């Protein structure tokens, strides 16, 4: 636990843009992000984007049933190494490891050999420019079916505060992302859940990947 916090803090300093936070998500956040997984008991293909040291991965593993398959995508090799080290001693990982694969690289480049039923995403979209966010969503669209759900989170209020106080270039980018996400919410039947027990509190968004 302390080791994971040290890894986070170091990566936050070295790789702020991709890491986005200096603390891993809470177990309550991890549970809410994986809610759709527990809503169905038939085998699913799951894609996790941005596991960091694995707080959400551990929750996914706990809920996996025989036949589920999990692909884990992480851009940062140091996070990937820490994750694999953590998983070695995880009994749920040992149970399901034949059905788990890793992709070290950007989400934009995951092989299109899905499709996935559920995408659990922890990427810090507000740190990316619009083109990158569009590329990621168009990739996710290509690895989705008519039934795929995607969950991701944003810190409550961060976008609004950023649009008021951030440097001009970031403000501009946040405004563009605002327009992009408003369109996504409408087209993909967005549902929102608030998780207060997290540092900082977050909105968890669920998108139905098939266009409404
Ligand atoms: C906010 S942290 C979330 C970590 C963890 N899932 C949690 O909730 O505490 C974002 C994670 O996304 C990874 N990441 C950022 N950009 C990425 C990309 N384009 N493709 C894959 N992973 C990415 C970062 O390296 C980091 O592990």
**Which atom of ligand 1 is found nearest the CA of 11?**
25
Q: Treating both helix axes as pointing N-terminal to C-terminal, what angle do 55-63 and 77-88 enclose, rounded to 10 degrees?
A: 40
Whole-number Å distance, alpha carbon 121 to ligand 1 midpoint, is 8
Q: Which of 9, 30, 34, 123 to mutate to test the pocket of ligand 1 (most atoms within 8 A of CB)?
A: 123
Q: Domain count of the chain? A: 1
Whether 193 shows a pLDDT value over 80: the answer reads yes
Domain housing 61: 2-208
DSSP code string of 183-211: HHHHHTT-EEEEE-SSSS-EEEEEEESS-
Q: Please report which confidence band the pLDDT of residue 12 belongs to, taking 50, 70 and 90 as the band edges.
A: confident
Residue 212: what pLDDT?
54
Condensed to tens digits (0 to 9), the pLDDT of residues 29-84 reads 999 999 999 998 899 999 999 999 999 999 999 999 999 999 999 999 999 999 99
How far is CA 60 from its chain centroid?
Answer: 12
Cut 0.95: pTM above it: yes
What CATH number is given to the structural domain containing 23? Answer: 3.40.50.150
Whole-number Å distance, alpha carbon 203 to ligand 1 midpoint, is 17
Q: Please report which confidence band the pLDDT of residue 211 belongs to, taking 50, 70 and 90 as the band edges.
A: low
């Amino acid at each position: 636990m302390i080791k994971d916090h040290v890894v986070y803090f170091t990566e936050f300093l070295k790789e702020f843009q991709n890491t986005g936070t200096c603390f891993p998500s809470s177990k309550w956040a991890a549970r809410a992000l994986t809610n759709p997984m527990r809503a169905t008991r038939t085998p699913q293909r799951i894609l996790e984007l941005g596991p960091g040291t694995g707080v959400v991965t551990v929750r996914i593993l706990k809920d996996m049933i025989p036949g589920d398959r999990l692909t884990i995508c992480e851009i940062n090799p140091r996070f990937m190494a820490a994750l694999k080290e953590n998983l070695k001693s995880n009994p749920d990982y040992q149970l399901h490891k034949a059905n788990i694969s890793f992709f070290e690289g950007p989400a934009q480049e995951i092989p299109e050999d899905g499709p996935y039923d559920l995408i659990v995403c922890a990427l810090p979209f507000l740190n990316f420019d619009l083109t990158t966010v569009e590329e990621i969503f168009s990739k996710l669209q290509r690895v989705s079916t008519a039934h795929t759900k995607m969950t991701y989170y944003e810190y409550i209020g961060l976008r609004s505060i950023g649009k008021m106080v951030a440097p001009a270039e970031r403000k501009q980018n946040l405004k563009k992302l605002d327009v992009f996400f408003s369109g996504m919410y409408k087209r993909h039947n967005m549902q929102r859940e608030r998780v207060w027990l997290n540092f900082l509190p977050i909105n968890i968004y669920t998108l139905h990947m098939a266009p409404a």
